[in-house]
Amino acid sequence: MKIVMLGAPGAGKGTQAKMIADKYSIPHVSTGDIFRANIKEGTALGLEAKSYMDQGKLVPDELTVRILLDRVAKDDCKNGYVLDGFPRTIPQAEVLKDALAKQNDKIDFAIDVDVPDENIVKRMSGRRACVTCGATYHIEHVPPKKEGICDKCGSELILRDDDKPETVLNRLKVYHEQTQPLIDFYNKEGILKTVDGTIDVKDVFANIVAILN
C-alpha cells in the first residue's frame, strides 16, 4: 500500500500520515527527514543534495526522487509507505510516476485532507509555543491553564512567525499555485480520495481507514 498525502499546510496531513503508518506498520516517509538522514550519514546522495543546499539552491526533482527511491527500496518499505511532503509539484509527481513505473510499481492512493483556507488560518493563528521548553498549545483546543503561560515550565507563550495569519496566507497562496494542481493530476490517475479535514482528528482517520480497507 503506497500512499501520497496531500493537503494545505496546517490541514493535518502529517498527523494522519503518522497514524496511517502506525496502524498499517508501514514507514512514514518525509522528504525532509530523508534529506537530513542522508546528509548526516554522509551518503553520496546526501552530499549531492547538500551541495545544492549549501548554495541556497533547491534540490533538483530528479535527485529528490533518487533519494526517495533509495529510501523506499529498503526492507521496511516492502509492504508500502506513506509519502508526506512529496510530491509538491506536477513535475515531481511525473518524475516519481516514471521512476516507479520503471520498477513495475505505482502509487495506490493519493489522500487529500481538505480544509478551507479560513479554517487553516484560524487553526494555525491559535497555536502558541513556549519560548523555553518548546511545548505547544492552542488557545481553543489545548489552552494552557493560565493564559499566555506554559503549564510545564511557567515561561511565556508566543505566536510564532510561521503561524501568524499573514505568513499562513502566503504559504497557502504558494500551496494553491504549486501543489493544488496535484489534486487534478491524481484525480486523472484515478487514485485520488478526498476526506473532510475540518472534523475531529480521530474521525478524519476513521474515514481514511474506510478508504484504505
In Å, what is the CA distance from 122 to each residue of 63, 138, 140, 141, 166? 36, 10, 10, 12, 12
Catalogue the active-site residues: 13, 88, 127, 160, 171
- Separation of CA 13 from chain center: 6
pLDDT of 59 reads: 86
For 69-113, how does the pLDDT look when each residue is reduced to its tens digit (9 = 90+)? 999 889 999 899 999 988 988 988 998 999 899 989 999 999 999
For 52-64, how does the pLDDT look when each residue is reduced to its tens digit (9 = 90+)? 888 888 888 889 9
CATH for 2-114+173-212? Answer: 3.40.50.300
pLDDT of 178 reads: 83
Give the start-to-end residue ranges of the domains of the chain: 2-114+173-212
Instruction: Report whether pLDDT(202) > 90.
Output: yes
- Percent pLDDT > 70 in the chain is 100
- Give the SS3 label for residue 190: coil
- Specify whether the CB–CB gap between 200 and 193 falls below 8 A: no
Predicted TM-score (pTM) of this structure: 0.83
Per-residue exposure over 185-201, b if at least 16 CB sit within 10 Å of its own CB, e if not: bbeeeebbbbbebbeee
